[in-house]
Amino acid sequence: MKIIWTGSYKKFNEINLKKNPFETRKWLDQVFKKKNLSSKYKKNNSHDNVLNQYLLTFDFLNKNYLKKPINIIDFGGGAGDLYFKIKKKYENLILDYKVYENKYLVSFLTKKYKNAGLKFISKLPHNQKIDLFFAGSSMQYIDDWKKLLLKYIKLKTKFFIFCDFPILNKKSIITKQNYYNNDIPVRLYKFDDVVYYFKENNYKLVYKKKFKNNYENKFSKNIIKYKPKFYKLIFVNQKIIK
């Protein structure tokens, strides 16, 4: 099996990012390929299995918290595949759904899904009301994660969901990922750091489940020794906890 994650670094800029792979035609083609696969709902389709794991977090929220129309930011949500999954399962749930992506992707997706019921944005609107921040397989690519999350915390976001979130028990490290023949920096988070940050900002961890994937054999030996695991996490603002 091909090793994808290698090395241990202290800073993102130690890894020479020649070109952002998420702003290339190759990535765009991959997004549409996943979109086509997920729309067919084939059994054992790996992308659809990932979306189903994402959906489990909404099952939890729907059972415990979601009683009104909900405003969602899907951070790094690609072509908005999760939106269509949610709409299919929860037909009566009223959504204001925005996918936050890079400008390159947004320009294509806005035209392609003009009347699909969701929006694609590359900039957060001023004083945007947000009920839920969702990040599936995207937070590992963020350098200053505290700065990013603080923007949404200041907007009084009620729920934060993270899926396919890479966790280490003892320390946080940065490693290098080979992504479509590009080397990009990836953060593996120390779990206690994340929980403490949210606790400081009046949020509580209410859900933690393992995220099923086949990544473990794709780490180099110096990364495997830290025993990286991937999880689904939900943090809720303390003010709305029953």
- What are the structural domain ranges in the chain? 5-240
Q: Which CATH architecture has domain 5-240?
A: 3-Layer(aba) Sandwich (3.40)
pLDDT of amino acid 37: 46
Decide: 78 and 99 in contact? Cβ < 8 Å.
yes
DSSP bridge pairs for 175 = 186
pLDDT of amino acid 35: 61
As a whole number of angstroms, the distance between CA 84 and CA 69 comes to 16
Phi, psi for residue 205 in degrees, rounded to 5? -75, 120
pLDDT of amino acid 239: 83
pLDDT of amino acid 192: 96
State which residues of the chain have pLDDT below 70: 1, 31-45, 241-242
Kindly report the pTM of this predicted structure.
0.91
